[in-house]
Each structure stands twice: as structure tokens, then as C-alpha cells.
Amino acid sequence: MSSLDTLLSSIPSIKKPVLAKLQNMGLLTVGDLFSHLPHRYEDYATIRPIASLAAGEKCTVLGTVTKLHSGKSFRKRMLVTEISVADDSGTLRVVWFNQRFIATALKVGSAVRLSGKVTADKGGLLMTNPELERAERDATHTGRLVPVYPETRGLTSRFFRWQITALFQKIKAIPDPVPQEILERLHLPSYHQSLRYLHFPKNEKEILLAEKRSAFDEMFLVQLKALQLKALFETSLAESLELPPQILENFIETLPFSLTGAQKKAVGEILDDLAGPHPMNRLLNGDVGSGKTVVAAVAALAAAGQGCQVALLAPTEVLARQHFESLSSLFAPGGETVSLFTGSYRLLDGKTVTRKTMQKAIESGIPKIIVGTHALLQEDVRFQKLALVIVDEQHRFGVAQRAKLQDMSFGSQDGQADRVPHFLTMTATPIPRTLSLAFFGNLEISLLDELPKNRKPIITKLVKNQTAREKVYQFINQEIKKGRQAFIIFPLVEESLALKEVKAAVKEHEKLTHKIFPHLSVGLIHGKLKAKEKEDIMHAFREKDYDILVATAVVEVGVDVPNASIILIEEAERFGLAQLHQFRGRVGRGEHQSYCFLVPGENAKNLERLEVLEKEASGFAIAEADLALRGPGAFFGTRQSGLPDIAMENLTNMKLVTIARDEAKGILANDPHLEKHPALREALKRFEERVHFE
């Protein structure tokens, strides 16, 4: 008897070549196959008399084969199988191309069901390549709402329908991870029933009911895990880090700017957390340019002042270097030193050292504040007394690196087995409230939704035609004559096309250098350059060696260049609004008025979306608009989250999120480790393997 854990390799009907393709799709068990859900359905439920058919409609025909001919076409040497099918009302021609099994599966006199689209040619109405089944068989591929699955070469929807149908007949009962009383309270079908509704629906109502169950399951598991993590932080012990008020005042007095109200509030929240006996687990969510670094600096100061160590992690070397330089500058008046540890750079007390020297120094507790990349996550890096971990843009770390970050929080190699470091994660992506509750329910959140008072709003314009583009080029020339600098950004493409992207950027760089701005210095930075090359180019841009920097979007251009006052973004429609707002924030960091120009591609449609940026300056308002326009799948990147489409579509359903959270709280109140709910515990374990939590 098969179960959800049965390996597909043990199913006799699945042959070895097919097995390899399934494994490439991440489908290893029967449960995986059942979770491979249709992305749409073809409505072939209506069986129509042949005489009533019209070109353009999709339907099912039930009849008898009256003629059959199969052979190679004269021109294309393609196998063509043509039959005539008759019912009581008339006859229909049906043609298949390059489907060898059709001729052997059929003979004159066979009763068949055919589902597909009716078309017309000189000979009259016909069906081309329809789905086919013998009339005496149960409807699987025809005559019903037919599921269409995500496919790959050699694995068609027909294959998935056939295998899933056969496996459902073998599995009579599927354990339900959600307790029966919850299902009854929320009027949801059982897990077994919902799978049947998704793969073999009788009508649209069954699909909607099953999708409702799937969305609840995913959100329920999200909330269970979030609440478990929250409880883990609340019951663990951490170093109590108090920052004396006088030291905080002295630090603030040395700053070349005044803190905003939002920054002061965030600093207060973080210092309250750090002073407590349990580890902080907080998200610092700030708009572009809202001043997250100085807030993080106060947290670092609290830890270093108590003789503890702080690790600040950034996803790229360029960003790590920026944080190192920013913190070094902020701490210089007070004499606090910062170390840098990346794959290419190791700076200790301002001196370049070997990796081994840096490792020994960290293990000895010499550097108190260490900025680094994933190099700090290596097994051989040990701390003496790590009390605070700060992570910038955590979502940009790889899955394995993010898992390591969690290990760092709860098992940091620092000789403090009974203490857990405080954890602060920062993001410049403003997160709408619904997504905050759905995805970050385990975190306390500090919002920086206020920009420094001296910041001038960035003037944003849509460049709709060639005349406008030429005017922008003239404007860039004028601004550079005044001593300003400019970024020109090219869109991100699929990873598999990264080389093509680089070639396009190189070609555009040559055009800008020789034809558009021949009298200016134009630099180029892209994802295929080595870290040291990127750093050198960014340093040269900061030092004004380049007037213009051409960059691909795979490169983090978040380095602070106060003199850059213009950013021009090509094919802007390819980006989400939140991402465009991020790019826009690369300028407007100095005293000069700054500008952002959005240039749509030649075939761009729906420019109303981009016009939101012309009118709106608040990152949080833009994030809400982005979410409404593109949905949470595009906002977060479904591939990053690991959540299926049904769950992603429901992330903004506040009622669903609240219900799932309440039900999760109810379960955990009586069974915190899910020992009384083994099926739910197992489902959560599988869920954790594919979905990342902050």
C-alpha cells in the first residue's frame, strides 16, 4: 500500500528516464507528486453534438471513428494521423501531428471522447491535436474540468493526470495535519478531499474550496513556525546590554545631523530590547535614506560598550565595505574601532591582515565590532562573546546562508552555551502591514518612515519618447558641468541570460562613451566582475574619476555617493515599483537637488504603473501600490519564499492571516512542541525545508 512518503522510484509505472526528470522538478515522493498542483483547468465538461459546433469554442465530442488514415506529409515529412468521428448529428475531421501512438490506439469502429478547440479550414470544421480517450474509460483527460500542470520536456499534463489518478486509487486514506475541530470550525474540506478537488474537480466550486484549504494550510504553517520562533527567543537567555545614557548622548552629539523622530523611537525600542534578559528579535524596516545605519550603530555601541562582540553581515562585499566605512566614520570621534572581514578584505585596527590572523583575533575577542559578508559564517570562524548579530537585507543571502544565520543566533561558537545573541535584521524594502504580519510574525518591527529634514524630494520623470530621451541626455550634460555625477541602470534578466545581459551593458557602455557622452568619463560595473574590480570601480566613482556609472541591476549600487544627483533607469517597466524606489534612493543623498528618469522599453505597456513613482515619494505608499498591482508573489519573489502560488495570492488576505494566527496560537498554547499532533509536526518539518523565515 502506497503512502505520501512512498518514493516515486518504487512505483512500477514510473520508468528510470522519467524518474530523473521528476527528480529535476523536485518530485521525489508520492506526496510531492500530489503537491504538484495544476496551474489552470480546461473546461471540457460540456459534451456537444457535432452538428452544433462552431469555430473557436472548446468542448468535448463523443462519437465513433468512421475513417482513419496515418502517414507522412509530403512537404514537411511529418507524421499526420487523420480520422473522421461521427455521432447522431454529423461528422467531424480530427487531425494529430507527430503523435505516433494515436494510429495504434485507434481503429475504425472505436467509440472515443475528444476534447479540444474547434477550428476551421477549407474543408470545414476540425479539431487539431485534441485530447483523446476511449469512451468506455472514466474521464481523465477529456469530458471534465481537465487540470493542466506545470510541465517540462518529456513530462506532459497527460502524464501527471495518469499517474496521479492511478496513485489516488491506491491510497485510500491520507493523514490530515490540521485537527478535525479546526476544519469543522472553518468549514474546510479534509486534506484528502481538497487534493481530490484540486486534481479531479467536478466544478469550479470544488476548486475554490480546495484553494481556500491550501491557502489556510500554508498560512497556518507560516504562523506556527513564526510563533515557535518567537517563543524560542522569549524563553532563551541573552546578555543584558545596557547603554549608559551619557554615552548615548555623547555619541548623538558627535553626529553631523539630527536624528529623526522615527530614528529616536527605533533607538528606544532596540535599547529596551537589548537591556532585557531575553534575546532581541527585531526587524528595522526603513525607507531608502531613512538612516538605518546610525540606528544599528547605537545597538553595536551598546554591545561593544559591555565588552561583547557584534557581527554586522551584508550580502555583498560592496555593501559590507560601505557599512564598514559608515560605522568607522560614525565611531571615529569616540575612538571605537571597526574591523572588516570579507572574502577579499580583512582589516583589523585599520591594517590589512591574513585570514588566520583575523580568525585568531575574533576568537580572542579583540575586535568588538566586525562587519563582514557570508565569510563570517564559515565553520572556522569562532567568537569569544558574540552578543549581537545585525543582518542587512537578509532576504538576499542564499538559503544555506540564511539557515547558518539562524544557527548563529542559537548556537554561535563563542563559548556562551547558555546565551543567545540578540538579533537585528534590516531592510530598505518597505513592507506592507499585511505582509509584515504574514511573513514576519515572529519579529518585533521598528519602522523608519520619516526622512531626514534636510533631504530634498527626488524629482522623478517618465521619459516616453526619443525626443524626451535626448533632452534628458542634455540635462545630464548640464548637471555634470555643475560637478554632479549620474548612474545609468540596465534591467535584471534571468540568471541563464546573465552573459547576454553583460554583453548588452558593454555594448551600451560603448555607445554612451563614444556617441552620447564622448567628452565625459563613463564607467561600467556588472555582475561578472570580481569583487575587487567592483570595489575599485565604485571607489573611482566616489572619487569622481567617472562622471557617469553604467551598472546592471545584478550589481548592488547602494554605495553612498552624495555627489551623484541623477539616476536614469532603462526598461523601467521590468522592475517592480518597490525596486525602482530602491534604485531612486541611490541619489538624493547629498545637498544637491536630485533626479530620477524612468525610460520604458520600446514595447512597454501599462505606463500608469510607473506614473505612481512620479507622484509618490513614500516607500511605504509605493510598496502598497506595488503589492496591489503585482501581488505578493512578484513583491517577494515566489522562488525566494518557497510558497506555492495559491498561498502567495492569499498573503494579503488579512482575515485569513488573522484566523491562521489565532488557530496556531490555540494549538501551541496546549502543545508547544506539537507532540500531540504528529501529522502537523511532520507537515511543519517538511514546510521548514522549503520556506525561509527571518
Q: What is the pLDDT of residue 559?
A: 65
pLDDT band at 544 (very low <50, low <70, confident <90, very high): very high
Q: What is the pLDDT of residue 411?
A: 53
pLDDT band at 176 (very low <50, low <70, confident <90, very high): very high
In angstroms, the CA 637 to CA 52 distance is: 46
Kind of pairing between the strands at 339-341 and 309-313: unpaired
List pLDDT tens digits, range 584-599.
Answer: 888 888 788 999 999 9
Q: Which residues are bridge partners to 125 per DSSP?
A: 120
List pLDDT tens digits, range 191-203.
Answer: 999 999 999 999 9
Burial of 520 (0-12, 13-18, 19+ CB in 10 A): middle
Kind of pairing between the strands at 111-121 and 131-134: antiparallel
* Grid coordinates belonging to 166: 492511478
Upper half-sphere CA count for residue 496 (Cβ side, 13 Å): 0
In angstroms, the CA 186 to CA 176 distance is: 15
Flag whether pLDDT at 640 surpasses 50.
no
In angstroms, the CA 414 to CA 387 distance is: 9
153-179: average pLDDT: 89
C-alpha angle 86-92-93 in degrees, rounded to nearest 5: 125
Q: Which of 90-99, 206-215, 403-412 has the lowest mean pLDDT?
A: 403-412
Using CA atoms, how far residue 327 sits from 312, 371, 381, in Å, is: 10, 9, 22
Could you tell me which residue, 627 or 42, shows the higher pLDDT?
42
List pLDDT tens digits, range 424-450.
Answer: 988 877 777 667 766 677 788 898 888
Q: What is the pLDDT of residue 671?
A: 95
369-376: average pLDDT: 91
Q: What is the pLDDT of residue 46?
A: 87
In angstroms, the CA 608 to CA 604 distance is: 11
pLDDT band at 625 (very low <50, low <70, confident <90, very high): confident
160-182: average pLDDT: 91
As a whole number of Å, the CA-based R_g of the chain is 30
CA proximity to 242, closest of 267, 272, 275, 270: 275
**What is the greatest pairwise CA distance in the chain?**
96
pLDDT band at 260 (very low <50, low <70, confident <90, very high): very high
Flag whether pLDDT at 534 surpasses 70.
yes
- 663, 220 contact by CB (below 8 A): yes
Flag whether pLDDT at 78 surpasses 60.
yes
User: By 3-state DSSP, what share of the chain in percent is helix, strand and coil, each rounded to 5?
Assistant: 45, 20, 35
Portion of the chain with pLDDT greater than 70, in percent: 88
In angstroms, the CA 6 to CA 168 distance is: 13
Tell me if residue 120 falls in helix, strand or coil: strand
C-alpha angle 636-638-639 in degrees, rounded to nearest 5: 115
Flag whether pLDDT at 357 surpasses 90.
yes
Q: What is the pLDDT of residue 436?
A: 72
Q: What is the pLDDT of residue 574?
A: 82
In angstroms, the CA 125 to CA 49 distance is: 13
CA proximity to 560, closest of 389, 265, 322, 204: 322
- 390, 310 contact by CB (below 8 A): yes
Q: To the nearest 10°, report the CA torsion of 358, 359, 365, 367.
A: 30
CA proximity to 159, closest of 144, 140, 172, 143: 140
566-580: average pLDDT: 87
Q: Which pTM does this prediction carry?
A: 0.73
Q: Which of 314-328, 560-574, 597-611, 644-658 has the lowest mean pLDDT?
A: 644-658
Handedness of CA 132, 138, 140, 144 (dihedral sign): positive
Flag whether pLDDT at 222 surpasses 60.
yes
* Grid coordinates belonging to 196: 481530490
pLDDT band at 266 (very low <50, low <70, confident <90, very high): very high
Flag whether pLDDT at 495 surpasses 50.
no
C-alpha angle 143-145-148 in degrees, rounded to nearest 5: 110
CA 617: distance to chain centroid? 24
- The chain-wide mean pLDDT, for the chain, equals 86
Flag whether pLDDT at 494 surpasses 50.
no
Portion of the chain with pLDDT greater than 90, in percent: 44
Count of beta carbons in the 10 Å neighbourhood of residue 475 = 16
List pLDDT tens digits, range 522-532.
Answer: 999 887 788 78
246-260: average pLDDT: 93
List pLDDT tens digits, range 81-123.
Answer: 899 999 999 999 999 988 878 878 888 999 999 999 999 998 8
Q: What is the pLDDT of residue 694?
A: 47
Could you tell me which residue, 362 or 591, shows the higher pLDDT?
362
Identity of the amino acid at 371: V
Domains of the chain: 1-39+161-172 (no CATH), 42-148 (2.40.50.140), 240-448 (3.40.50.300), 459-616 (3.40.50.300)
